[in-house]
Amino acid sequence: MAKDKNEFVNQIADIDTDFPQWYTDVVLKTELVDYGPVKGTMVIRPYGYAIWELIQQQMDARFKATGHVNGYFPMLIPQSFLMKEAEHVEGFAPEVAWVTKGGTEELAEPLVIRPTSETIICDMYAKWTQSWRDLPLKINQWCNVVRWEKTTRPFLRTSEFLWQEGHTIHATEEEATAEVMQMLDVYRDFAENVLAMPVFVGQKSEKEKFAGAVATYSMEAMMKDGKALQAGTSHNLGQHFSQAFNIKFLDKDGSLKYVWQTSWGTSTRLIGGLIMTHGDKRGLALPPKVAPIQVVILPIAAFKPGVTEKAREVAETLKAAGVRVYLDDSDNSAGWKFNQWEMKGVPIRLEIGPRDIENGCCVIARRDNFEKKTLPLAGLAETIPAELDSVQKGMYERALAFREAHTVEAHDRASLIAAVNEGKFVRAMWCGERECEEQLKRETGISTRNMPFGAEPIDEVCACCGKKAKHVMYFAKAY
């Protein structure tokens, strides 16, 4: 018996009334992830991992284009390494997972399963750095990390997740600062031009910066429930770690100096951001550049002679043009297939039946705006890639329009809180004092996100406490 046309959509909670459940339903029912047997872990299923592979490939190309190389460092870190940088150990201690036994024997020194790799990489950099000729050293690694989170949600916050972390050392402060800003812009470009996810970039507050950093810069994306997602960070580590780990080099002037250091990272959290930026009542909506399947081809009345064969021919034509294609020639009903592939977020559905073949055409349906149109079969190798480009651009423009419509200015505490509680980002003046920031978060759940670069002042006083203002700040509730 044919399945009801809306059966799959009905299995997803309403995005407008229960956003958290909608998110959970989407990641499970589209087979992006499943829950692991250890609390707080996730199993990334092939469809979800294919998205991560596309993110990796395109981001890695950007890293290499900016002079970075990949390496790999051990996941087990001696306890003594973590203790060398005071702010770092204080920041990560609550999330650390420990290894205290090897087989049946107690270890002489407990080991940390990496929550991040600054310490072990610093130890190696100290060995590898002798003179100015060894600098800069710019290594990225793709790996997993473990942070013992209390509250978890697939992709957004899990006890183990996948990420990339770049670590660089430089001869001068100026070079390190340029690196931090360059990588922040690489992230911004990737988020906006590949993920179709508009972001605000700027500096984090002292309270929100990375443990052990001089300064942290972030990109903040708005999700469809109005909350912020910190989608990537770039850290200026100054000489904190180089002094703790004695990373010195002989400079051109003959003197020994400490290196200047940076680190920067993004993770599988980006997939959560994709889901919550573009998803809708029907499930996922994936930008073509990271969609594992860009076009799904559905033969209509496949039992009739020549239909499936023509669909295969079209599939091969598109594959040859570099399009990621899937031919669904299963015996499920057309309605079932429509809902299935819409829910999985495939950018374009291409339908071809006997009448289409007679007329030398096919029908396509776009996932982003549900527009349907007829295209001639001749020239699909050119028209489909152009349609995919249009989908990519349209998804970014809609996400940007949504963010702009949900970003407001506030001039006092009451209006700031009211706007955030309505699902908005708020741009307001801030005094820069930790006590003010902590009180706001404790009482309302609202946090500072980042201070945009070169922003014109809005008021003279802080919108939160009324004291003299120092910075323009974005405020929001956040994941």
| CATH number for 378 | 3.40.50.800
298 and 273: one domain?
A: no
pTM, two decimal places = 0.95
Domain assignment of residue 469, given as a range:
407-476
> Does 300 reside within a domain?
yes
- CATH number of the domain bearing residue 88: 3.30.930.10
> Does 402 reside within a domain?
no
Q: What token pair was written down for 439?
A: 């009180």
Local confidence band at 6 (pLDDT 50, 70, 90 cut-offs): very low
Q: What token pair was written down for 157?
A: 């916050």
CA-CA-CA-CA dihedral for 36, 37, 39, 43, to nearest 10: -10
- CATH number of the domain bearing residue 441: 3.30.110.30
> Does 61 reside within a domain?
yes
> Does 106 reside within a domain?
yes
Q: In what order do the strands lie in the sheet with 425-430?
A: 407-409, 425-430, 471-476, 447-448
87 and 223: one domain?
A: yes
Mean pLDDT of 311-318: 98
> Does 244 reside within a domain?
yes
Give the residue among 245, 70, 237 at the shortest CA–CA distance from 165: 70
Residue 9 has a pLDDT of 57
Q: Where are the alpha helices (DSSP H) in 98-172?
A: 118-128
Phi and psi, residue 349, nearest 5°: -105, 130
Per-residue pLDDT of 32-50, as tens digits, reads 999 999 999 999 999 999 9
Mean pLDDT of 326-348: 95
Per-residue pLDDT of 361-390, as tens digits, reads 999 999 999 999 999 999 999 999 999 999
Q: Where are the alpha helices (DSSP H) in 239-333?
A: 240-244, 269-278, 307-320
Q: Would you call 255 helix, strand, or coil by DSSP?
A: coil
Average pLDDT, the chain: 95
Q: Would you call 60 helix, strand, or coil by DSSP?
A: helix
Give the residue among 246, 203, 242, 210 at the shortest CA–CA distance from 87: 210
Q: What token pair was written down for 143?
A: 């790996």
366 and 463: one domain?
A: no
Residue 87 has a pLDDT of 78
Residue 42 has a pLDDT of 97
pLDDT higher than threshold 60 for residue 163 = yes
Domain boundary among the residues 362, 389, 416 is at 389
Q: Would you call 414 helix, strand, or coil by DSSP?
A: helix
269 and 126: one domain?
A: yes
- Cβ-based neighbours of 37, under 8 Å, separated by 6 or more: none
pLDDT higher than threshold 70 for residue 3 = no
307 and 344: one domain?
A: yes
Domain count, the chain: 3
Q: Name the DSSP class of 410.
A: -
Residue 365 has a pLDDT of 98
Give the residue among 144, 181, 138, 185 at the shortest CA–CA distance from 161: 144
pLDDT higher than threshold 60 for residue 4 = no
pLDDT higher than threshold 90 for residue 230 = yes
> Does 451 reside within a domain?
yes
Q: Are strands 295-299 and 348-352 parallel, antiparallel or unpaired?
A: parallel
- In terms of C-beta distances under 8 Å and separation of at least 24 residues, what long-range contacts does 104-113 make, across chains too? 109/78, 109/79, 109/80, 110/79, 111/76, 111/77, 111/78, 111/79, 112/76, 112/77, 112/78, 112/79, 112/81, 112/82, 113/75, 113/76, 113/77, 113/146
Residue 415 has a pLDDT of 98
pLDDT higher than threshold 70 for residue 10 = no
313 and 195: one domain?
A: no
